[in-house]
Structures are given as structure tokens and as C-alpha cells.
Structure 1
Amino acid sequence: MRIKAASISYAVFMAVLTALFCYGLVLVFSLNTNLEDHYRGQSKLLAEQYSAQAYAQANFHQFPREEWTFVSGTSDGIRQGFKKSAWGMLYTMGVQTLGFKDTISEHYLLAPQMNAKAPTLYLKDQDDPLKLSGSTTVEGLIACAKKQVTQLRINSSTQMEINQTGPVVASQSRLPEYKLRDLESLNDEAAEFLDSQVVEYHQSFDQPLAVYIADSYLSEVRLSGKILIKSEDTLHIASTAELKDVVVQAPKIVVEANFKGSAQLLAAHEIVLEANSFLQFPSVLMLTEATGFQNRIQLEADAMVQGAIYLPEAKSNLHKPTELLVEADAQVLGHIFCGGTLELYGDVTGKIVASQLLYQTQTTKHSNLLKDVELLVPEQPGWLFALNESAETPAVILKKL
């Protein structure tokens, strides 16, 4: 009887052990199946998110501001959401993909895409031909007065090496129309005001606007995201200030030597980028009023801007015309719109629209002259953006926030 009882106990033990083993196999199989379904769902969500990015760019101007718009995704059971918001002269776009009991949510910085067919250089027709001198390269299409491009040796010592590769067409007696929107996004009643003693702060773009009131000198701070930096006086930005994706507003803005960061600089009358300062992509330099005694933007030697520069035309004959000075060895990668006079001694990779050019020596002045500069077409022009509003222009994603 003892042997029989032991045999029965052993059989029961083995049966339980076998059952547990089989149950474990079922659990492992079920877990693998669930993991495969999860990864398959995640892959579909990611693919749909990429599709949503493309949809956001193509239909950018159709979305209303500050409200979510939802559409069906390309796969069953998936929805895509979009929320467009103004941010300074650019836009942010919230993009969501919802499905498989999960959500992917991202924010992007966008702007109207620059027309790839636009001229590398557009000069308003004032019956003054474009003149090239020294060692000068101009790639791509040129639009200027009467389709006239000439070479000019301004003195006997000038070494001539002109490389002008694109076609030339006639320009108009006025500049292309630019429709700029207002800056209402910077007047948010729900804005949060930051303590002036804050030295480091990040505000995500799904939060209300944060406002930082600065005095005349901004240094030893790290500010990023949806932050508006305002000053009622000339604002100096020191090299020790770390700024990323912020907007800066002041009557005059001076970016001191060796600064490095990204920002939209919106000055009423004047912006100065001192030597070796670097405004990283996608930055904006813009004069918002241009009704002062001096309405100018100046890039000193070895300064660099990656983004867009905008100077409006004079509002009336009573206002001083705007001026953009790009000193020797300064660089601009992006789009320049200058409604006044452009003095260009540095290089530009991108596109220029200007009323007129000016080249000065110690003793002479030459209108519509380019000397010892390079105007180049970007190898991948798709990143070029403009600030004008056009319902026909798709958007370009500038960066993921």
C-alpha cells in the first residue's frame, strides 16, 4: 500500500509539473504573440507618424490655428491629429498618431518653404544694371533691370575672375509682394511671467507662453522653448547666454561676439551681430517697424546666420530706408529680403531679394555692384524657408522640438 501511495503521489506530482510546464509554454507563446502584435502596432504607428508629417507639410495652410484637427490615417483604426500654432514669425505643429491603444505625439517647427525656382538674386528694376567685379561667383537665376549684367573693373589693380553660371531675366520695378502676419502669438493673455532671477528654464510648446522681462544685458542664463524675451531698451545678448528656439523682442538687439544659439530676433529698428557670433538654424533676424533714425541690420566680420533675414521697405518718404550690411567674411545661409539697401561683402548660400545693392570703398560708391563675394545655390534647397504667407506654398519642417 505504501508503494502504491507513493506511486500515486509521484504520478500526481509529475502531472502537476507537466501542467505547469505546458502552462508556461502557453504563457511564453502568448507573451511572444503579444510582443509581436505590440511591435507590429508600433511599427504601423511610426509609419503613420511619418505619413502625418508629410500630410502636415502639404496641407499646412488649411489647418486652423490653435485647435486640433483629426483625420483618418492610412491604416484601419488609426487617427492623425494636427494643431498649428504661430510662434513669432514661424509656426509650431503638434502632430499625433493614435491607435493600437497607444499615441505618438511630437512637435515640429515649420515655416513656408522657399520657392526653389525663385532667383538666387532679385534686384528691383531701377534702370541700373547689375555689375560684377573682382573674384565673384553667382550661381543660379538672376533677375535684374533690363536683363543686364556687366563686368566692371573698379580700379587698375582689380583682378577679374567672374563666374556667373545661370540665366538672367528682367525684374520688375517693385519687389515681390510679401504678406507678413502679425505677431499676435506674442500677446498671449495666458502667458506666464518668469522671475527675473531665473537662470535656467525650458518651456515646452504644449504649454502657455512664458515671458522673461530682461533689462539691457542678458547673460549667464539658459532659456529654451516657448519663451519670449522682452526688453524696453537696447538689449545686449552676451556670449554666456544660452538661447534655443526662443523669441527676442526689443527696440535694438546687439548679439555680442562669440555668442552661439538659435532665436528669432525681432527688433523695432536695429540688430547688430558682432564678430564670430553664430545664429544657428532656424534663426530669424527681422526689423518689425523700421521707423527710427537708423533702420539697419549689421553682420560683423565672421558672423554667421542660418535662417532668414527680413528688412521691410520704407513705409513712406519720411522714414529712413532700411539697410543690411554683411561685412567681409560674414556668412548667411538662407533667405534675405531687404526692402532697402544691401551692402554685401560676405557670402550667401541661399536667395536674395533686394531693392538695390551698394558697394563702397574709402573714396567711391557703386550701386548694384557685387565684388569678391559668392552667391551660391544650396546643394539641397529644400531647407530654405521664407517668412511670407502664401496659400500655394507648402511648409518645410525646420526641426523637431
Structure 2
Amino acid sequence: MILLQLHTFARMLSIIAKLGRSRNLRVWMLAAGAGIMTLGCDKLPLLAPQESTITLSSSTIVLQTNGSTEIRATVLEQAGTPVQNGTTVTFSTTLGALSPFEARTLNGVATVQFLGNGQSGKATIKAISGGAASDGLEISVGAGAAGRVNLTASPTSVPSTGGTSTITAVVADASGNPLASVPVTFSTTAGTFSAQVVNTDSAGRATTSLTTSREASVTATAGGTTSAAVTISISVRPTVSISLASGSTPVEGGITTFSITVNTATGGAPLQSVVVNYGDGSSDDLGSVTGTIAVQHVYRDDGSFTPSVVATDVTGASASASTVIVVQPMLVSINAAKAGLQVTFTANVSPAGAAIASYTWTFGDGTTQTTSGNTTIKTYAAAGTYSVKVTARAATSHTAAGSTTVQVP
């Protein structure tokens, strides 16, 4: 530009020389040339003198991905005084954007805005003016600002059959301020994530789910910062058994007693429930019992049944056991011992373990009797043939009947 202007001015001098003695025209040409030179100099940017210094500063060096901050360039001459107002300073950045990228000084300071522009990383900002250049000012943006990543899991153990744990990472800068819109990458040694890369919310949280049937070590990384590992363990299942209690005989309508043993494994979680299914459509929830307990049940029908028990701990790990029993029908028969008109009746109930509360007798002559024992004596008024019936009532109110015919005498 300056060379072009000098060339133009030189040509004008040449023309003046050719004009000879026309004094007025020579004056006019000299004035025009001076104007050209002055106009050209006014359009040149004012730059910092040699040996000047530029120092960059910002109110923060940590920024959200969509944040902004003011960048100040202080330009001083060699003597330490501010450069002339209007000195042009040009800024540059390795990340994000600057608005504007060029500014003029006022009292030795030029300012621009740095914009994160949704990016993450380390931005290095520099400024130059003339032969002066600043050192780089580093701004950490988004993930680049991550100073800590805290990781939690809930629950921290899953059943051996497989389960899901909610994994949460909280990303903050070195001062503990949460960072939003930061991509977090989750890693695991086992299982699968519902999402492996998740952006943090306004509270700095990123959440995903891990499904696994094996022990897993999980970490989360934001920028160049990785959390401490969190272990998702596999719950040790409880142990459980069910058997018919010693001395108990399963009888239709009678009380059947089971022996159930439940224990938590070493290192296992506490029990949440123990549920017994009797195999006849009915069940009982015994709660969080442990040890050996006796459980009673009344079967209303005879036949084969498969009672079972399931123990579940608070993590969802469970264990089960079952057994097979045969419930016998309650049968009643009558024996009669005669002595003239007197007859001794005995009710025989099978199986022998049936618990009978009462016996109701019908003697065939219009009379009845209820006894607590299985034997009674009846004296008839006259000889004849009589139909005798007895109804045995169990302690559970279940009944069974038997009958016979007796000839007296």
C-alpha cells in the first residue's frame, strides 16, 4: 500500500517537472500528492512499538461448553506506559471462537469475548500487535475443565441370575462446580450399558444403567479425568430346604407339619422374604425368617403334592427347594364286639396319625352319641339287625365316616 502511494507521488513530481514554470499548477499538484500520502497513512493500523509487551488475562480459566468470558490484552511500551489509544491487537484461539478477533486499545487495554461454542477441551489464546506477542492464555472448556468425576452405583450388587444397576457420574471442575453438557464415557469389565456416552445435565450428572450377571468394575471419564472404579458384585444366594417334619403324617383334613431351614450365605445380603407354596394353590409368606422353623398346613384333599419354598434377599438373589408328599385319605371303619344285647363299638381311623377331635355315633335304633374316644358301648332294647354309623371329626373340622351292620343277639 505504502509503495503504491510513493509510486503515485513520484509520478506526480515528474509531471510537475514537465509543467515548467506554471507556478499555480505546481502548487496544486504538490498539495494533491501530500493529500494522497496523508490519506494512506490514516488507513494503516496503529501497532505497538518495538519492545512492547502484551499480557493476557481473564476473569475465569474454566468455562462451560456454551459459556463465554472476556479476554483482556494489556499492551505496554518498553517504558511501562500504555501504548497509544487505538493500537490494534489481533487475537487467536485454538478452540472455540473470539468476538471480535481484533480490537483497539483504550488506556492500554484491548478486550474481546471468548466463546466456548459447544466445544470441549483446552483453548490456548494469544494476542499480537506489531512485533509484540503475548504468552498463551489457557481456558479449560467443558470436558477440558473436568477436575473430578465421582461415580456411584445403586445397587452395588445384583443376583447371580443377572440384574441391573443404575450408574451415576457427577462431573465438576477443580473447585467443585458442576459442569453441564459434558460428554461422559462409561467403561465396564462385564455387562452392557443402556448408553455408553451420556452428556451431563445442569447439575453435572450423567446417568446410565449396567446389566450384568458377572462382577463388573465400572469407571467414568470426562475429558482427561477418570473416576475411581466402582465394583458391581454378584450377590451370594441364600440356602434353603424343606422336608416333612419328623412324626408328621400327611392326612386329608389333618395337620401336616413341614420343617423349613433358611440361611443367608457368608457375605450375602439380608433376607427379604421366605415364601412357602404348598402345592395345592395356597401359600404363605413367612417374612425375613432365618434358621429352622416348623410350618403347618391342612390339605383338604388326598393325593400327591409338591410343596416348595423360595428365599429371596434384599438384592433379589433367591434360592428354592421342594419336596414331594402323598396326602392319604382319612378312612373310618367299625369293629363290633357282642355280648347278648350289649355291643362294644370301636372306630378305626387310618392312617394312624390322624388327629380326631370327636366321634358321632348313630346306632340304628334312633339313638345317637358323641364321644371323644374311638370306643363306645351300646345296649339294645331288643334283638334285631341294626345299621351303625360313626363320623370322625378331625381337629381341623374335616370329617370322614364309616358304617357296619350288626345282628343282636
Scaled to the shorter chain, the TM-score interval is under 0.3
Higher helix proportion (structure 1 or 2): 1
- The one of the two structures with greater contact order (alpha-carbon pairs below 8 A, sep at least 6) is 1
TM-score by length of 1: 0.16
TM-score by length of 2: 0.16
Higher strand proportion (structure 1 or 2): 2
Larger Rg belongs to: 2
